[in-house]
């Protein structure tokens, strides 16, 4: 028996009873009908081949689309669109900065330092009960902990006007905090805390990396420091942040008495404008540094790192 005239495959010699039909099986198992006794019929093999090609094309299209979707998901995950479960929401993060830690000659061995993220100071007019309408300056910030253990955070924020020689501790202003939340976190996803409520629980540990690979985003605790007594004439100022480290040093004061200084973060700013124009857009960030300073008022005394080691006493129990 010769090859099939439709598919060029050798016939298997099978004949259907009562019909006298010779047939061949293609490689895919489709039946190729030959000639019946009464003449030429439809070429079923042509249809079979078309169906096979169409099925293969559809399968290829499905895999191609799956591959594209997979690549889009991977790219999105890589740039942080879908962060891992528990990642901090991206809420009004314009102008956010990170104050990188800088070692100091005064650092004792084994001290810990929390990570500090912040936005430039902003101002709004708020009705403060018992005080009337006030210009309230605020510093939005987040703290994370990469030290390996939960750490307490008992902050003290001091706004120092260098050109007016004044210093101002931050204040807890519930009315201002409510307005700040409306602007910075309208859905209350970040649970913005003040300098009192943020002390109620330690800052949890963040395990961001394993080797060189990021495994999670940092666990941020969000807070805000507020002031309503800043001199409007001041254009050169710093904000000192105490409580981010357990570092401290004891030095001799001008009168020979010991002075305890704590490790603090100094954020330096300047403001463009005058006392009649106060706007958030006037603030310019100058830089930051880690210093050892006292937090008593009047204005801070700051230890010069270059001479710190000369006047530093032996380590004593932490105050």
- Give the domain range for residue 275: 96-311
Q: Is residue 165 located within the same domain as residue 261?
A: yes
Q: Is residue 318 part of a domain?
A: no
* Rounded-to-integer distance, Cα 70 and Cα 64, Å: 10
* Alpha-carbon distance values, 82 to 12, 125, 215 (Å): 59, 36, 14
Q: Is residue 53 located within the same domain as residue 111?
A: no
7 class by beta-carbon count within 10 Å (0-12 exposed, 13-18 middle, 19+ buried): buried
Q: Is residue 251 part of a domain?
A: yes
Of 33, 59, 82, the position where a domain reaches its end is: 82
Q: Is residue 317 part of a domain?
A: no
Give residues with Cβ within 8 angstroms of 275, minimum separation 6.
Answer: 232, 233
Q: 270 with 236: CB under 8 angstroms?
A: yes
Of 47, 82, 117, the position where a domain reaches its end is: 82
- Residue 212 has a pLDDT of 65
Q: 44 with 33: CB under 8 angstroms?
A: yes
Q: Is residue 305 located within the same domain as residue 273?
A: yes
Query: In 3-state terms, the chain is what percent helix, strand and coil (to 5)?
Result: 20, 35, 45
* Alpha-carbon distance values, 313 to 252, 257, 308 (Å): 8, 12, 10
Q: Is residue 24 located within the same domain as residue 128?
A: no
Q: Is residue 32 located within the same domain as residue 159?
A: no
* Rounded-to-integer distance, Cα 25 and Cα 9, Å: 8
Q: Is residue 54 part of a domain?
A: yes
Q: Is residue 91 part of a domain?
A: no
Closest CA to 146 of 193, 85, 190, 98: 98
Of 54, 82, 110, the position where a domain reaches its end is: 82
Q: Is residue 127 located within the same domain as residue 6?
A: no
Q: Is residue 143 located within the same domain as residue 275?
A: yes
Q: Is residue 31 located within the same domain as residue 179?
A: no
Q: Is residue 145 located within the same domain as residue 270?
A: yes
Q: Is residue 251 located within the same domain as residue 143?
A: yes
* Rounded-to-integer distance, Cα 106 and Cα 104, Å: 5
Handedness of CA 108, 112, 115, 118 (dihedral sign): negative
* Rounded-to-integer distance, Cα 226 and Cα 176, Å: 8
Phi, psi of 65 (to 5 degrees): -65, -40
Q: Is residue 11 located within the same domain as residue 112?
A: no
Structure tokens belonging to residue 115: 């990570």
The number of distinct structural domains making up the chain is 2
Q: Is residue 119 part of a domain?
A: yes
- Residue 91 has a pLDDT of 47
Q: Is residue 316 part of a domain?
A: no
- Residue 84 has a pLDDT of 40
- Residue 218 has a pLDDT of 77
* Alpha-carbon distance values, 119 to 164, 178, 183, 305 (Å): 24, 18, 13, 26
Give residues with Cβ within 8 angstroms of 43, minimum separation 6.
Answer: 6
Q: Is residue 241 part of a domain?
A: yes
For the chain, 319 residues long, give each residue's pLDDT as a single digit of tens.
Answer: 555 555 554 555 554 444 444 455 544 444 555 444 444 445 555 566 667 777 777 766 665 555 555 554 444 444 444 444 334 444 445 678 999 888 888 899 999 999 999 999 999 999 999 999 999 999 999 999 989 899 999 999 999 999 999 999 999 999 999 999 999 999 999 999 999 999 999 999 987 666 666 666 778 999 999 999 999 999 999 999 999 999 999 888 788 888 899 999 999 999 998 888 888 999 999 999 999 998 775 555 555 544 444 444 333 333 3
* Rounded-to-integer distance, Cα 204 and Cα 201, Å: 8
Q: Is residue 117 located within the same domain as residue 254?
A: yes
Cα angle for residues 91, 95, 98 (degrees, 5° grid) = 95
């Amino acid at each position: 028996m010769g090859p099939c005239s439709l598919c060029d495959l050798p016939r298997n010699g099978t004949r259907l009873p009562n019909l006298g039909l010779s047939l061949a099986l293609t490689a895919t198992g489709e039946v190729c009908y030959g000639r019946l006794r009464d003449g030429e019929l439809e070429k079923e093999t042509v249809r079979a081949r078309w169906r096979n090609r169409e099925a293969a094309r559809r399968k290829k299209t499905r895999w191609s689309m799956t591959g594209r979707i997979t690549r889009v998901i991977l790219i999105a995950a890589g740039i942080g669109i879908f962060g891992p479960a528990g990642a901090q929401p991206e809420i009004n993060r314009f102008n956010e900065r990170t104050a990188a830690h800088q070692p100091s000659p005064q650092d004792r061995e084994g001290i810990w330092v929390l990570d500090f993220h912040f936005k430039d100071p902003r101002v709004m007019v708020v009705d403060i009960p018992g005080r009337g309408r006030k210009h309230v300056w605020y510093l939005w910030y987040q703290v994370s902990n990469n030290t390996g253990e939960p750490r307490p955070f008992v902050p003290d924020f001091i706004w120092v006007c260098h050109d007016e020689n004044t210093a101002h501790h931050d204040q807890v202003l519930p009315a201002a905090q409510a307005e700040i939340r409306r602007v910075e976190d309208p859905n209350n996803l970040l649970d913005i805390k003040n300098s009192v409520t943020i002390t109620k629980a330690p800052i949890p540990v963040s395990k961001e990396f394993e080797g060189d690979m990021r495994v999670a985003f940092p666990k941020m605790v969000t807070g805000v420091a507020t002031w309503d007594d800043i001199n409007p004439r001041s254009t050169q100022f710093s904000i000192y942040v105490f409580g981010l480290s357990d570092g401290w040093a004891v030095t001799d004061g001008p009168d020979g008495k010991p002075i305890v200084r704590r490790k603090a973060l100094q954020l330096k700013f300047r403001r463009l404008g005058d006392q009649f124009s106060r706007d958030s857009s006037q603030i310019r960030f100058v830089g930051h540094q880690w210093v050892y300073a006292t937090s008593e008022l009047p204005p801070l005394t700051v230890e010069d790192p270059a001479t710190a080691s000369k006047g530093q006493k032996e380590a004593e129990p932490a105050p």
